[in-house]
Chains A and B, each alone.
Chain A
Amino acid sequence: MLSPPLSPHVIRATFWRTWTVTRRAYPWSYFVGTLMLGVFTVGLAHLGLAAIGGGRVAGDFVTATGSADYLGYVTVGAAAFMFVTHGVLWAGKALIQEQREGTLGALLVAPAGRLPYLLGFAAFAFTAIVLEVSVLLGCAYALGVRPAASGPGDAALAILVLGVAVFGMSLVLSAVMITAGEAHITQNSVFLAIALLSGFTFPRRYLPGVLQWLGELVPTTAAMDVLRGVFTTGAGPAPGRTAVALAVGLLYVVVGLLWLPRAERHAMERSY
């Protein structure tokens, strides 16, 4: 019997496997780490605003972002960055983790497709991220942050757009990692690049023109504009930016899915 391309049982099984392994590997330290990350991100922004800006932001910032709520701006950016980095890490590092654990051959010789397998990781990542972002938002709420929201439908669309961007990037990153045979330098380079280019913690218009243009090649950049429209300004998702975010994100998905089989063979050849 041949598996359908999007085998739901493989997605479910991979989700369950990752959940079980993570729970055993980090019984409580994982959640403490997540809590600390949320507290520090919003807490430091709060202290910085009080100590440096005297509790106020410059007029230029308001012009650039459409909001005078710096903490709200940082909270949305930090939550999105957490979503992106953890999402990309979980799904992107899945295959190289298999390689390190000595299970890549057993996985590749099985008939299950790579897409449902990675969707299983993405589903787990999404669940974990919801937990992490909830902690961060809870900390922000305690500090008086009240992000705007243009409606639950818009919020769902923004999260979906960001999810497509993250999944596309994780597929490409996964192919890069198993081709290069290393994860650390690759992931740090990617995270630094997207932190700089995608406008998570500062408005992109502060960047030189070339970097703004380069940022358009990263799917999280347009996705962040959609997210800002929904959660920072409350104006709702701009249709143009939503289309760009989905198009670039889906392009990454296609490129990743086409590249992965070659990358997997390369990984196998490296160990001949």
Chain B
Amino acid sequence: MIETQDLRKEFRDGRTTKVAVDGLTLAIPPGRVTGLLGLNGAGKTTTIKILATLLRPTSGTVRVDELDPLRDPKAVRHRINLIAGGERMVYARMTGRENLWYFGQLYDVPRAVLGPRIDELLALVGLTGAAGTVVERYSRGMAQRLSIARGLINDPAYLLLDEPTLGLDAPIARDLRRVVARLAAEGKGVLLTSHYLAEVEELCGHVYVIGDGRHLTEGSPAELTARTGGHRTVRVTVPGASPEVEAAVTAFAARAGTVAGLDRAGDGALVVSVSHPGEIAGPLTMAIVGAGGTLAGLEVTEPSLEDAILALNDAAWLVTA
């Protein structure tokens, strides 16, 4: 288990001090993908760099399977690896296979293990055919996939993923999500930061939300969405709707404590949009039908983690302000 207790990181720039991480307490257990979310500048990358032993915390503690990275950095580095989507992290003038071999040496992977593992990882990220090509001839997506293979070269117990799908094409990002889910299922602890909240929602069993370096809340994606009062959005298409239907929808929304959006589609049909935390699709359609309207389409959008994160960030910003 990776655990942090009251983690704090300050950066000094001349006379000014910026607090990037402020009292963060996290747990990243084996066998689960743990999410770390927050807007830009929230302290996610700084936190990951501290866990990866690249930065020292100003105060607070980090333990990786009871090991202290400040006292046993090498032992900790054998158990972890870092994949950062924003950085290439592989050598441009070496081939894919040469890169993996070199990093295998840096991680002291035994020769008998390294060869088969390189083949396995190249297959995993779909680069077997490009294994002998120098990386400077790779596309960005290929280099990123190689970087992912590099992050697995030491078969780490914990994988720190900082925006791993940044810049990847959708099918490759989907394949990577499958790989991450499989790694967690095999028992690895994974910490994931991503701007693609659908990705976090799909993969993470537990999510920490931070803002300005501080812990805002935590829970499963479903819990976070529910806790922040996420709204379902109901969209109903009503062809040839009369003014009575519009009036009935407006009155219904007012009774429910919300406002209805009324738009006209290209064919003249009325498109009604109502957002509300409760189950309102049934009562809304009954109100429309009751006023003489007919339904041509009904769509219910569940509240998303993105809505929840935005709501949390706004709330934190309001408190800070």
Q: Does B168 contact A (CB under 8 A)?
A: no
B87 within 8 Å of A by Cβ? yes
A151 at the interface (CB under 8 A from B): no
Complex contacts, B295 vs chain A, CB 8 Å:
none
Segment at the interface with A among B90-98, B122-130, B191-199 = B90-98
B218 to chain A, nearest CB (A): 23
* Inter-chain contact A110/B103, CB cutoff 8 Å: yes
Our pick among B20, B81, B90, B94 for the contact of A109 (Cβ within 8 Å) is B81
Asked if B55 and A265 make an inter-chain contact with CB atoms under 8 angstroms apart, the answer reads yes
The dominant DSSP class at the A interface is helix
Interface string of B1-28 (1 = CB under 8 A from A): 0000000000100000000100000000
Q: Give the CA-CA distance A265 to B73 in the complex, in Å.
A: 13
Q: Could you say which of B11, B45, B77 has the most chain A C-beta atoms within 10 Å of its C-beta?
A: B77
Residues of A within 8 Å of B177, CB to CB, are: none
A17 within 8 A of B: yes
Q: Is the CB of B91 within 8 A of A101?
A: yes
B53 touches A109 (CB 8 A): yes
Beyond A21-B91, A102-B88, is A272–B45 a contact (Cβ under 8 Å)? Answer: yes
Residue from the list A17, A24, A25 in contact with B102, Cβ < 8 A:
A17
List, sorted by A's number, 10 A–B pairs whose CB atoms are closer than 8 Å. Answer: A2-B75, A21-B94, A25-B93, A102-B88, A102-B89, A105-B82, A106-B103, A111-B108, A117-B106, A269-B11
Residues of A in contact with B (beta carbons under 8 Å apart): 1-3, 7, 9-10, 12-14, 17, 20-21, 24-25, 101-103, 105-113, 117, 265, 268-269, 272
* Residues of B close to A265: CB separation below 8 A: 54-56
Whether B178 sits at the interface, judged by CB under 8 Å, is no
Is the CB of B74 closer than 8 A to any CB of chain A? yes
Instruction: Verify A103–B108 contact, CB threshold 8 A.
Output: no
A-B residue pair count with CB separations less than 8 angstroms:
100
Residues of B within 8 A of A7 (CB): 108
User: How far, in whole Å, are A172 and B146 apart by their CA atoms in the complex?
Assistant: 33
Identity of the chain B residue whose Cβ is nearest the Cβ of A107 in the assembled complex: B106
| Residue of A with least CB distance to B136 | A24
Asked if B107 and A110 sit within 8 Å, CB to CB, the answer is yes
The smallest beta-carbon distance between A114 and chain B, in angstroms, is 11
Q: How far is the CA of A108 from the CA of B110 in the complex (A)?
A: 20
Across the interface, do A103 and B90 meet the contact criterion of CB distance under 8 Å? yes
Let me know if B11 and A13 touch, CB within 8 A.
Answer: no
Q: Which residues of A sit under 8 angstroms from B92, Cβ to Cβ?
A: 101
Question: Out of A17, A25, A112, A272, which one reaches B107, CB within 8 Å?
Answer: A112
CB nearest to A117 among chain B residues: B106
Docked CA distance A159–B58 (Å): 45
Whether A17 touches B89, Cβ cut-off 8 Å, given contacts A105-B82, A111-B106, A272-B45, is no
Which B residues lie within 8 Å of A110 (CB)? Answer: 77, 103, 106-107, 154
**Do residues A24 and B134 form an inter-chain contact, with CB atoms below 8 A?**
yes
CB-CB under 8 A from B93, the residues of chain A are 20-21, 24-25
Q: Known A1-B78, A110-B106, A112-B105; judge A272-B150 contact (CB<8 A).
A: no
In Å, the complex CA distance between A109 and B64 comes to 14
Chain B hits for A25, CB < 8 A:
93
* B interface residues with partner A (beta carbon < 8 Å): 11, 20, 45-46, 49, 52-56, 73-75, 77-78, 80-82, 84, 87-94, 98, 101-103, 105-108, 110, 134, 147, 150, 154
Flag if A272 contacts B46 (CB, 8 Å).
Answer: yes
CB distance from B103 to the nearest CB of A (A): 7
The docked-state distance in angstroms from the alpha carbon of A13 to that of B103 is 9
- In the complex, A24→B84 CA distance in Å? 27
Q: Is B89 a contact of A105 with CB atoms below 8 Å? A: yes
Contact of B78 among A2, A9, A12, A24 (CB under 8 A): A2
A105 B108 Cβ-Cβ under 8 A? no
Q: Min CB distance, A123 to chain B, in Å?
A: 14
Please, which residue of chain A has its CB at the minimum distance from the CB of B49? A268
Contact of A111 among B74, B88, B101 (CB under 8 A): B74
Evaluate contact between A108 and B54: CB separation under 8 angstroms. yes
Given A21-B91, A103-B88, verify A1-B54 contact (CB < 8 Å). no
Which residues from A are CB-within-8-Å of B150?
Answer: 106
Which A residues are CB-close (under 8 A) to B78? 1-2, 111
- A272, B55: Cβ atoms under 8 Å? yes
Min CB distance, A86 to chain B, in Å? Answer: 19
Q: What residues of chain B lie closer than 8 Å to A10, measured between beta carbons?
A: 105-106
Q: How far is the CA of A20 from the CA of B134 in the complex (A)?
A: 11
Rounded to whole angstroms, the CA-CA distance of A110 and B108 in the bound complex is 9
Alpha-carbon separation in the docked complex, A102 to B92 (Å) = 10
Instruction: List A contacts of B98 (CB < 8 A).
Output: 17, 20
Let me know if A1 and B108 touch, CB within 8 A.
yes
With A2-B78, A109-B82 in contact, is A13–B89 under 8 Å at CB?
no
Measured CA separation A12–B74 after assembly (Å): 20
